């Protein structure tokens, strides 16, 4: 693969995490509430003033009122019960102030004689009934009490918010596991495909949860814990949910990372709370995803990490104790998933805790076809879509990869406004997933020619070397970070690799660099990824597969190397071989790489006309399919090294995938 340089990839953002409110936010909230109370009372006060007269008035004694009547200074009087009010003819001055209105209280016995007297003195008299409707009285009381009710409501909701904040601060010990009850939509084994062996192993768990008495009657004890082990995307979480759906029991799901917080003891408290909830809902299932986050071997972090007071170790200790606390008749089963079983603490894996380990491998060809059938059952497919051919073209893909492939094909069809998903949509989706987005064509002729010879070198070495997967397509159209790509279509499922096959793969990987040396007598930086892949294959052959003559059948991969999890480097672990052995390993790796490089150079020099013809065709057309590539190679006298290329006459399939892009 010709690698493109000077491309940076933006880091993906982490998942959102809810944080407790800060003290500054709480203080700001209380200041806002107090401000609202003051504002409401201020507005209510002015509304009250608006309902009464704003004219200055004074309260007169009865004798002063009579005196003002005699002086003809009372203009009118409104009498309601024993209360009287009205206006002065001239401003009434008392205490250094002037008033234009008055109020006074009249004894009820003199009202009958007072009214004729006021009329005689020229006072306009108005009599009012002093009875007030009940609803009006209640409304008045409500208006008077409204500020207090508003203030009480604000303090109530403020106190409730404070309690919730305190629960968020002091409730760290509560489990954050999600509970899926049987009333919710469930997943069953019918929704899981490609892992038939794991499904068969787990059906016993379902049978126990449905009929525990059948096992208890014979004294049998169901496994307390089942560990699902497999690469990412193979369906471990889906299997756990399918078990809960089949058994129709409560399903508690949590990630192991949610147990641990910055406060010491929080993780252990959450473990206790989770197991208490599961026992209360028995029969139930506890599913812990990414168990290796808390289940790593204790004391492996060296002198600066680990120890008895480490938060993760306390959480692990509590998990071990909680699993031991299960009664034999309790119908609570712990399921856990990990892709790093090599780092788990041995105490977790002993009988009585995680009794069983179920390996969930990537699906084979039949399994991939079944998975595609599940993920495309709601997608309208075109008549040219062959799921068997797609499954054949996607070796090594997990269930998650196949689900993404089906979705990307549907998106491609939707972008083009099509009514059905066709084979071309799946081709586009597969290229998009494995190679990246298609970029702009190369405009520099020198660069186009360099990339064309680089990719032609990969293809020609693959054509010449025996036992290598056949070439399916060659292109110099940039995709993702690659300036060009050579795709290979495996002829069958490979689970065991011969030494000759790995050596041939290395030669194919170095075909691009060898082509540059043969044609331009120079090299470019485009072979960076090729060199990385070839070196990794050579080091694996030497250290893990015992395929180097210098060292013999010795495993030197390290205790942390695992086929599922990869290499887990721990600087505190001692080396498992000496410095002299390390030098021998480096020498063996260099020898294997040099041998592959020499084979690629010899093959291309012996078939230079075919190399030139393929490169010129790529410069002109930018892409070659398998039929045309093979025709060009044969027409220019390409001679395979050591025999005929593997299955070169196999007809090209409908789909092609760059299992090992070169």
DSSP 396-447: T--HHHHHHHHHHHHHHHHHTT-SSB-HHHHHHHHHHHHH--B-PPP--HHH
Residue 178: pLDDT above 70?
no
The answer to whether residue 593 scores a pLDDT higher than 90 is yes
Query: Which residues face 254 on adjacent strands?
Result: 288
User: Tokens in use for 79?
Assistant: 């009498």
Q: Do residues 344 and 236 lie in contact, with contact meaning Cβ atoms separated by under 8 Å?
A: no
- Would you tell me how many other CB atoms lie within 10 Å of the CB of residue 425? 24
Structure token digits, residue 25:
């936010």
**Higher local confidence (pLDDT), 526 or 167:** 526
Least confident of 172-176, 359-363, 589-593: 172-176
Token pair belonging to 451:
């990339």
Assess whether pLDDT exceeds 50 at residue 228.
yes
Residue 305 has pLDDT above 60, yes or no: no
459 close to 602: Cβ distance less than 8 angstroms = no
Tell whether the model's pLDDT for residue 176 goes beyond 80: no
Residue 303 has pLDDT above 50, yes or no: no
Among residues 313, 408, 455, 516, the one annotated as catalytic is: 455
Residue 632: strand, helix, or coil: helix
pLDDT, residue 561, reads: 52
The model's pLDDT over 534-585, given as tens digits with 9 standing for 90+, comes to 999 999 999 888 898 888 888 887 544 544 344 444 544 556 788 888 899 9
Whether 400 and 233 have beta carbons less than 8 Å apart is answered as: yes
Q: For residue 536, how far is the Cα from the chain centroid?
A: 30
> Is 438 tagged catalytic?
no
Is residue 631 within 8 A of residue 648, CB to CB? The reply is no
**What is the Cα Rg of the chain in Å?**
43
Residue 484: band (very low, low, confident or very high) from pLDDT cuts 50, 70, 90: confident
pLDDT confidence bin for 144, thresholds 50/70/90: low
| Residue range 365-435 in CATH 2.30.30.90 | no
Q: Which of the pair, 609 or 52, is modelled with greater confidence?
A: 609
Higher pLDDT, 171 or 236: 236
Q: Alpha-carbon distance 267 to 199, whole Å?
A: 32
Select the more confidently predicted residue: 20 or 479.
479
Domain ranges (residues) in the chain:
23-50+135-170, 53-131, 178-359, 365-435, 445-635
Residue with tokens 């997967």: 469
Q: Find, among 53, 54, 74, the residue nearest to 64 by Cα.
A: 74
**Residues 6 or more apart in contact with residue 62 via CB below 8 angstroms:** 104, 105, 106, 107
Contact in structure between 279 and 250 (CB atoms under 8 Å):
no
Cα 128 from chain centroid (whole Å)? 76
pLDDT-based confidence at residue 532 (cuts at 50, 70, 90)? very high
As a whole number, mean pLDDT of residues 119-128 equals 83
Q: Give the contacts of 373 (CB within 8 A, at least 6 positions apart).
A: 193, 387
Alpha-carbon gap, residue 96 to 473, rounded angstroms: 108
More confident site: 142 or 632: 632
Three-state secondary-structure class, residue 299 = coil
Q: What is the pLDDT of residue 659?
A: 33
Both tokens assigned to 186: 């469930």
Number of Cβ within a 10 Å radius of residue 375 = 19
pLDDT at 422: 92
Q: pLDDT tier at 447 (50, 70, 90 boundaries)?
A: confident
Element (H, E) at 3: strand 2-3
The residues that bridge with 487 in the sheet, in sequence order, are 473
Check residue 55 and give its pLDDT: 62
Q: For the domain with range 445-635, which CATH number is right: 1.20.58.760, 3.30.470.20, 1.10.287.70, 3.90.550.10? A: 1.20.58.760
CATH 1.10.357.10 fits 178-359, yes or no: no
As a CATH number, domain 53-131 is 3.30.720.210
Cα–Cα distances in Å, from 227 out to 191, 253, 331?
Answer: 20, 14, 17
Read off the pLDDT of each residue in 612-641 and give the average, rounded to a whole number.
Answer: 87
- Kindly state the percentage of the chain with pLDDT values over 90: 17
Beta bridge mates, 227: 336, 357
DSSP conformation class of 86: E
The rounded mean pLDDT for the chain is 77
pLDDT of 656: 32
Torsion of CA 453, 454, 458, 461, to 10 degrees: 50
Residue with the larger pLDDT of the pair 596 and 40: 596
Query: Do 460 and 604 meet the contact criterion of CB atoms below 8 Å apart?
Result: yes
User: Please, are residues 623 and 477 in contact by the beta-carbon 8 Å criterion?
Assistant: yes
Closest Cα partner for 436 from 403, 483, 474, 468? Answer: 483
Helix (H), strand (E), coil (C) string for 319-365: HHHHHHCCCCCCCEEEEEEECCHHHECHHHHCCCCEEEEEECCCCCH
What pLDDT sits at residue 395? 81
Sign of CA dihedral 287, 293, 296, 298: negative
Q: Using one digit for the tens of pLDDT, what is the confidence trace for 494-506?
A: 777 888 889 999 9
Indicate if the pLDDT at residue 110 is higher than 70: yes
260 in Cβ contact with 388 (< 8 Å): no
Return d(Cα 554, Cα 574) in angstroms, integer: 18
Q: Are 641 and 464 in contact (CB under 8 A)?
A: yes
Q: Which two tokens stand for residue 147?
A: 């500020």
Question: In residues, how long is the chain?
Answer: 662
């Amino acid at each position: 693969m010709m690698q493109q340089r000077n491309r940076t990839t933006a880091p993906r953002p982490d998942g959102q995490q809810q944080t407790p409110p800060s003290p500054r936010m709480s203080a700001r909230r209380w200041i806002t509430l107090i401000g609202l109370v003051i504002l409401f009372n201020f507005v209510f006060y002015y509304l009250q003033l608006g309902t009464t007269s704003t004219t200055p008035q004074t309260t007169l004694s009865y004798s002063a009122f009579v005196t003002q009547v005699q002086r003809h200074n009372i203009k009118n009087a409104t009498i309601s019960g024993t209360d009287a009010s009205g206006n002065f003819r001239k401003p009434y001055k008392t205490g250094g102030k002037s008033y234009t209105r008055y109020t006074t209280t009249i004894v009820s016995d003199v009202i009958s004689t007072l009214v004729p007297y006021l009329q005689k003195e020229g006072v306009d008299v108005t009599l009012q009934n002093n009875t007030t409707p009940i609803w009006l009285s209640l409304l008045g009381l409500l208006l008077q009490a409204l500020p207090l009710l508003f203030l009480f409501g604000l303090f109530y909701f403020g106190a409730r918010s404070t309690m919730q904040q305190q629960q968020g601060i002091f409730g760290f010990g509560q489990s954050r596991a999600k509970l899926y009850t049987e009333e919710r939509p469930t997943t069953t084994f019918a929704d899981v495909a490609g892992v038939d062996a794991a499904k068969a192993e787990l059906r016993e768990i379902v049978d126990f949860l449905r009929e525990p008495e059948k096992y208890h009657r014979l004294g049998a004890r169901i496994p307390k814990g089942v560990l699902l082990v497999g690469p990412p995307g193979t369906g471990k979480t889906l299997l756990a949910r399918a078990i809960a759906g089949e058994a129709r029991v409560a399903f508690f799901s949590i990630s192991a990372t949610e147990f641990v917080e910055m406060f010491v003891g929080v993780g252990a408290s959450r473990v206790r709370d989770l197991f208490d909830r599961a026992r209360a809902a028995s029969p139930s299932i506890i599913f812990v995803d990414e168990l290796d986050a808390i289940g790593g071997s204790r004391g492996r972090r060296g002198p600066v990490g680990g120890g008895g007071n480490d938060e993760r170790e306390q959480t692990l200790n509590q998990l071990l104790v909680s699993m031991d606390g299960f009664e034999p008749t309790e119908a609570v089963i712990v399921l856990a998933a990990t892709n790093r079983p090599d780092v788990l603490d041995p105490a977790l894996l002993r009988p009585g805790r995680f009794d069983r380990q179920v390996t969930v491998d990537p699906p084979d060809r039949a399994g991939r076809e079944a998975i595609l059938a599940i993920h495309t059952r709601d997608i309208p497919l075109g008549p040219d879509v062959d799921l068997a051919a797609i499954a054949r073209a996607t070796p090594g893909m997990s269930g998650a990869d196949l689900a993404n492939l089906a979705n990307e094909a549907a998106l491609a069809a939707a972008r083009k406004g099509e009514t059905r998903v066709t084979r071309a949509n799946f081709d586009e989706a597969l290229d998009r997933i494995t190679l990246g987005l298609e970029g702009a064509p190369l405009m520099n002729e020198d660069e186009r020619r360099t990339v064309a010879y680089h990719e032609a070198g990969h293809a020609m070495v693959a054509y010449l070397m025996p036992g290598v997967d056949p070439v399916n397509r060659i292109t110099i159209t940039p995709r993702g970070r690659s300036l060009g790509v050579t795709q290979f279509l495996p002829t069958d499922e490979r689970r065991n690799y011969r030494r000759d096959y790995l050596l041939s793969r290395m030669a194919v990987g170095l075909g691009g660099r060898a082509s540059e040396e043969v044609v331009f007598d120079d090299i470019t930086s485009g072979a960076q990824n090729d060199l990385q892949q070839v070196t990794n294959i050579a080091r694996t052959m030497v250290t893990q597969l015992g395929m180097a003559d210098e060292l013999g059948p010795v495993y030197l991969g390290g205790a942390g190397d695992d086929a599922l999890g990869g290499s887990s480097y721990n600087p505190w672990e001692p080396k498992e071989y000496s410095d002299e052995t390390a030098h021998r390993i480096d020498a063996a790796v260099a020898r294997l790489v040099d041998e592959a490089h020499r084979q690629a150079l010899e093959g291309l020099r012996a078939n230079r006309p075919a190399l030139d013809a393929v490169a010129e065709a790529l410069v002109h057309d930018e892409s070659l399919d398998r039929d045309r590539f093979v025709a060009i190679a044969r027409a220019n006298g390409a001679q395979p090294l050591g025999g005929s290329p593997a299955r070169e006459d196999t007809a090209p399939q409908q789909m092609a995938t760059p299992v090992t892009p070169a």
